[in-house]
Amino acid sequence: MPSNLDVAEKLNLVFQLMQLAGENRFKAIAFDKASQTVKGLSDDINVYIENRNLTDIKDIGKSIAEDIYAYAETGEMPVLEAFKEKVPLGLIKWLDISGLGPKNILKIHKEFGITEIDELKGLIESGELAKLSGLGGKSAEKIKKSIEWMEQFDERCRLNEATSIANDIYESLKDLDGVQQIEIAGSLRRAKETIGDIDILIAANEEYIPNLFEVFTTHERVTEILGKGETKSSVRTREGRQVDLRIVKPEHFAAALMYFTGSKEHNVLMRSRARERGMSLNEYGLYKLTESGETNFDEAIPFETEQDIYDHLGLNWVPPELREDRGEFDIFEEQKELPLVQESDIRGVIHAHSTWSDGKFSIKEMAEACIERGYTYLGITDHSKTAAYAGGLSVDEVKAQWEEIEALNEEFKAQGTDFVILKGIESDILADGSLDYPDDILEGFDFVIASVHQTLDMPREKMMERFRNAIKNPYTRIVGHPTGRLLLKRGGSDIDLNELVALAAEHNTAIEINASPWRLDLDWSYGNKAKEVGLMTSINPDAHSIEGIDDIQYGVRIARKGKYEKERVLNTKTADEVLEFFKAR
């Protein structure tokens, strides 16, 4: 039986091969949308397969449904097999090369019979690529540079890197003459866990544009100017990231911000809603339609903000993080707002390491850093004994650590400091799903975070049983980074997170959103299921240093994207309320 992820990956592969084969763009996009829908599906797709009602799922038409049924029955997807015969899989990586589109990729493949990037590099070096009609020396050089960058840097970066670059450039531009409005847009504004290009948008009048572009392209982070036009300029930063700056007329800013924030799926539905109401929405604004259904640019509908545009389309304002066509239209047709968690709501830090295991700072130093940031409690969760590679604590060390924590709490109390350290542990989930200490020791902790650190590639059913046992254990209060993924470095364990989310909610156990930008796990795409079953989470920095505490900001953004309200985030509560939750099991 295929998992949701198996089906989603196959559909995504069809989408990529269709692009390379020059297939109709809308046909290809249908597979892309179906892939994303299946990946974020709350239910097990096999239920729909068994009932032969896949077309009940949004974005899955009859043809795609038939391909999924065939895949479930035979292990092969007919449409995928057909495109594999037309296009070699090795060409997919070429789609990341700047200066090459699907048409040229196929053209090069057919002309030279090559499929690997190394072979393409050889063609450039020999000068043969430049001779191909429609390319030339300039294009060949651009392709060569792009390959060099791809080899030096991943095509995407983690949320923290993108945020750092974007904020730095934003700060250099925001107070310049002529800047009426400025926003970071794109997938970064939507808080995707990994980011491709970084988009910045400015509202300014024409006379200010040259100077704004001059400051942008000469920023200290910039190593290469990729393009400089009348309203858009693109640069490459020293980290290998592409940053695009667009400057629009002030009256177009809100529409442009909406358009360049995306997602494309959200934008498509917004444009559809506009047409249903006799209007046309694009990056310049909102206009009435003519009788023949064309955009009437002479009849602009007035707006000043994104909120105004949403109002015209019968919606309340949708927070950028939710603009993924994942149920936000149903919510914001009815509700004025969703009380999503904010960084200012976080009262304490749960899941942090000290020098007792693999942390860089003592418990006291970590506590003082938390106090400095305005937090009122710290849950220390050093590694358990099985994690010997990370300095896991023996039973004697656990008891000694408890004494240190109790002494520090007495010290804070005597000083009149409103702060408490909670005695936690990050216990390894062992191969059979049991935790890492005997019950009498587990009982002595204020709380236990149960995490898998070893044998992440266990077969699905064994890994599921491992997690089921850990969640059902009465001492488990939080499940840590459930998939074990490291973004842009390795994938996660093969598990059914929809089932585990429901099981954790049933057993009154939280699943953390690990706020480390390497993890951001539990993934936001399981937010609909988590909301449906009322899952509690805790936004945990998994801090191994003082600096790591500040990763909470990334976890908050992912929690918002996953539709978590303040009430379902454990560390928005007081220390007493958190302890109550821990004892409630």
Host H or E run for residue 556: helix 552-561
Per-residue confidence in pLDDT tens, the chain, 585 aa:
888 878 988 998 899 889 888 888 778 888 987 887 887 788 899 999 999 999 998 789 999 999 999 999 999 999 999 988 888 888 888 887 766 778 888 888 888 888 888 889 898 889 888 888 878 888 888 888 878 766 765 678 899 999 999 999 999 999 999 999 999 999 999 999 999 999 999 999 999 999 999 999 999 899 999 999 999 999 999 888 999 999 999 999 999 999 999 999 999 999 999 999 999 999 999 999 999 989 999 999 999 999 999 999 999 999 999 999 999 999 999 999 999 999 999 999 999 999 999 988 899 999 999 999 999 999 999 999 999 888 999 999 999 999 999 999 999 999 999 999 999 999 999 999 999 999 999 999 999 999 999 988 899 999 999 999 999 999 999 999 999 988 877 778 999 999 999 999 999 999 999 999 999 999 999 999 999 999 999 999 999 988 899 999 999 999 999 999 999 999 999 999 999 999 997
CA geometry: angle at 219 spanning 214 and 221, to 5°?
150
pLDDT at 478: 98
Q: Are residues 448 and 569 in the same domain?
A: yes
pLDDT at 148: 79
User: Helices 117-126 and 136-152 meet at what angle, rounded to 10?
Assistant: 140
Residue type, 14: V
Is the distance from CB of 341 to CB of 524 less than 8 angstroms? no
Q: Are residues 353 and 208 in the same domain?
A: no
Q: Are residues 93 and 234 in the same domain?
A: no
Q: Are residues 297 and 179 in the same domain?
A: no
Global pTM reads 0.79
Residue 39 lies in domain = 4-86
- 323: CATH: 3.30.210.10
In a domain, 253, yes or no: no
- 464: CATH: 3.20.20.140
- 28: CATH: 1.10.150.110
In a domain, 254, yes or no: no
Q: Are residues 454 and 395 in the same domain?
A: yes
Q: State which of 223, 248, 273 marks the end of a domain.
A: 248
- 200: CATH: 3.30.460.10
Retrieve residue 463's tokens.
């890994």
Cα separation, 319 vs 518, whole angstroms: 24
Q: Are residues 458 and 531 in the same domain?
A: yes
In a domain, 428, yes or no: yes
User: Other CB atoms closer than 10 Å to residue 414's CB: what's the count?
Assistant: 8
In a domain, 328, yes or no: yes
Q: State which of 136, 152, 168 marks the end of a domain.
A: 152
Retrieve residue 508's tokens.
């009154």
Q: Are residues 425 and 308 in the same domain?
A: no
Retrieve residue 299's tokens.
């009849």
In a domain, 144, yes or no: yes
Q: Are residues 377 and 454 in the same domain?
A: yes
Q: Are residues 565 and 473 in the same domain?
A: yes
pLDDT at 130: 87
pLDDT at 154: 62
Beta strands in 316-406 (DSSP E): 348-352, 377-383
Cα separation, 171 vs 188, whole angstroms: 16
Q: Are residues 301 and 173 in the same domain?
A: no
Q: Are residues 431 and 566 in the same domain?
A: yes
In a domain, 543, yes or no: yes
Bridge partner residues of 295 (DSSP): 289
Number of domains in the chain: 5
Cα separation, 236 vs 222, whole angstroms: 6
Is the sign of the CA dihedral 335, 336, 341, 345 positive or negative?
A: negative
Q: Are residues 328 and 347 in the same domain?
A: no
In a domain, 486, yes or no: yes
Q: State which of 127, 152, 177 marks the end of a domain.
A: 152
pLDDT at 150: 65
Beta strands in 361-419 (DSSP E): 377-383
Bridge partner residues of 289 (DSSP): 295
Is the distance from CB of 380 to CB of 424 less than 8 angstroms? yes
